[in-house]
Structure 1
């Protein structure tokens, strides 16, 4: 069976925010390779497409109520928990960082979670907040319906500077001060999400709505998810 790689796929992205950085609040970013089919040579947050196995991985703790409710409205097919799981998996695969709680897995461990499980942790969504949704415009070699989650670095169950277990999908992994992030070569949507993170830091409160860039049709639209 041939897979249409340009078909719209559900995806999850995780923005990890570090408040104790010496140069002010910082976010974790990495550089995609020059030959990557999607966003080559761009600095991005860890993230990727939803895997079929993400729906069966048990979370040690669920998403906070507000995020779970919004995702339930936004993803009526019930994939909200799987998207949170995918965000944690992508963070692990691309950076080697652990967002989880100590504990043994019940039953067999999926192959792409073997390394995570070997650290003695189970994935936990308790520290995630759903903050943004964006759909890739038509005509791109890869298209994603991406939900962006925000997590605090203090929720990590590991040294936030230890990238020794990262895959080679992202290079130059680093904590980028928010004040300097826009100086990097960024995708447009990443710039927009950074602005949202900065706005939330200034307000210090949970937003009443979630931004949504909808590119499913011939014309891009912007909405706010309640």
Structure 2
């Protein structure tokens, strides 16, 4: 019997990167921050993923609090209405702060001080328990959302066969100077920095499990030498609208594969 596909929920994913020279000299310095989700999660349980999550109604931020491209420009980049694009951007900033403590925001004026660690911890907890919104956090400290720290990479829509579906905008963000990503989230059993080639090797051996969007994204960025090259590639993406990538799930004997642009990727 045919069933009506679930409507995809808007979401944002952040490819958080940094440069750390490899002491062995065998790998380029580009590293990416990844989390292994707890096995009880309703979606992508046990998978190794980038930080991210669904758009929340509280992610809307007034234009006066945004530094960088306006919602209209993000809408052009992600082939969607400005309001939807604004949700992607807000969710990207909120989820990155909630899940790994990196805040893509800064003083809204030259005289505005940066919040201290205690304030940041309290603001993060408020977002996690939903007693505060992103707008509350920014307004409370006179901060601006740094949309200029985000770079468009791709947009993925979950296959229609899946019971939980997402329409996710993928952004690149370089770790801001003076900040550190951590593993203090209840949604992951571990979180750390990886060289892309290492996590792809772990996936090949079965030590890590990657969903098709994560696998393909890591494959793309593994070919780049450093964060400068990655942000330059993302800038090239910004010059053209990102048409949504819609994988199709196909049975191949006793296994299921995701077909993306004619390429078959085994489902974990």
Q: Name the TM-score class by shorter chain.
A: 0.7 to 0.9
Deviation digits for residues 33-71 of structure 1 (CA, Å, limit 9, x no counterpart): 101111110110011111112223554312389963643
- Alignment partner, residue 145 of structure 2: 123
- Alignment partner, residue 48 of structure 1: 53
C-alpha separation in 1, matches of 2:106 and 2:95 = 17
Which of these residues, 246, 250, 253, is aligned with residue 214 of structure 1?
Answer: 246
- Alignment partner, residue 100 of structure 1: 105
Which of these residues, 164, 177, 193, is aligned with residue 217 of structure 2?
Answer: 193
In the superposition, relative to structure 1, how do residues 188 and 122 fare at CA in structure 2: closer, same or farther (>3 Å)?
same
- Alignment partner, residue 166 of structure 2: 144
Q: Answer with 60-69 or 183-192: which moved more.
A: 60-69
In the superposition, relative to structure 1, how do residues 56 and 187 fare at CA in structure 2: closer, same or farther (>3 Å)?
same
Say what the alpha-carbon RMSD is for the aligned residues. 3.6
TM-score normalized with structure 1 length:
0.76
- Alignment partner, residue 67 of structure 2: 61
CA contact (8 A) 2:35 2:192 kept: yes
3-state SS of the aligned residue for 1:35? coil
- Structure 2: unaligned runs, 5 residues or longer: 24-28, 113-126, 203-207, 251-257, 263-268
C-alpha separation in 2, matches of 1:116 and 1:181 = 34
Deviation at 1:9, TM superposition (A): 0.7
- Structure 1: unaligned runs, 5 residues or longer: none
Aligned residues: 211
In the superposition, relative to structure 1, how do residues 96 and 6 fare at CA in structure 2: closer, same or farther (>3 Å)?
farther
CA contact (8 A) 1:29 1:43 kept: yes
Q: Which has the higher helix share?
A: 2
Deviation digits for residues 76-128 of structure 1 (CA, Å, limit 9, x no counterpart): 35322321111010001111111111246xxxx98133567667643211111
3-state SS of the aligned residue for 1:148? strand
Which of the two has higher C-alpha Rg?
2
Q: Answer with 179-188 or 35-44: which moved more.
A: 179-188
C-alpha separation in 2, matches of 1:43 and 1:174 = 10
CA contact (8 A) 2:197 2:222 kept: no
- Alignment partner, residue 35 of structure 1: 40
- Alignment partner, residue 172 of structure 1: 190
TM-score normalized with structure 2 length:
0.65
